[in-house]
């Protein structure tokens, strides 16, 4: 189970850690998809980006769970 962090007196549960860790990954992935022109084929860009962020968060949570002893 991932450990809990305390940053400046603020408690960060594992889900918040995963959400914060997924944000730069999502931003880099979104930037690369824009550069490659993949988002031109998407019907609703905001829905696609929301779903992409959820998928990235899920992968980060799975990796965090698999790496813990």
Higher pLDDT pick, 29 / 6? 29
* Residues 6 or more apart in contact with residue 17 via CB below 8 angstroms: 2, 5, 64
Residue 46, in any domain of the structure: yes
Residue 54, in any domain of the structure: yes
Range in 3-7, 21-25, 60-64 the model is least confident about: 3-7
The range of the structural domain enclosing residue 33 comes to 11-67
Q: Measure the CA–CA gap between 22 and 47, rounded to whole angstroms.
A: 17
Residue 4, in any domain of the structure: no
Residue 60, in any domain of the structure: yes
User: Number of folded domains in the chain?
Assistant: 1
Residue 34, in any domain of the structure: yes
Residue 17, in any domain of the structure: yes
Judge whether residue 51 has pLDDT over 70.
Answer: yes
Q: How confident is the model at residue 55 (pLDDT cuts 50, 70, 90)?
A: very high
């Amino acid at each position: 189970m991932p450990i809990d962090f305390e940053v400046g007196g603020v408690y960060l549960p594992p889900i918040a850690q995963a959400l914060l860790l997924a944000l730069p990954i999502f931003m880099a992935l979104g930037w690369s998809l824009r550069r490659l022109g993949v988002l031109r084929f998407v019907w609703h860009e905001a829905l696609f980006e929301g779903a992409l962020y959820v998928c990235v968060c899920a992968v980060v949570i799975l990796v965090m769970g698999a790496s813990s002893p």
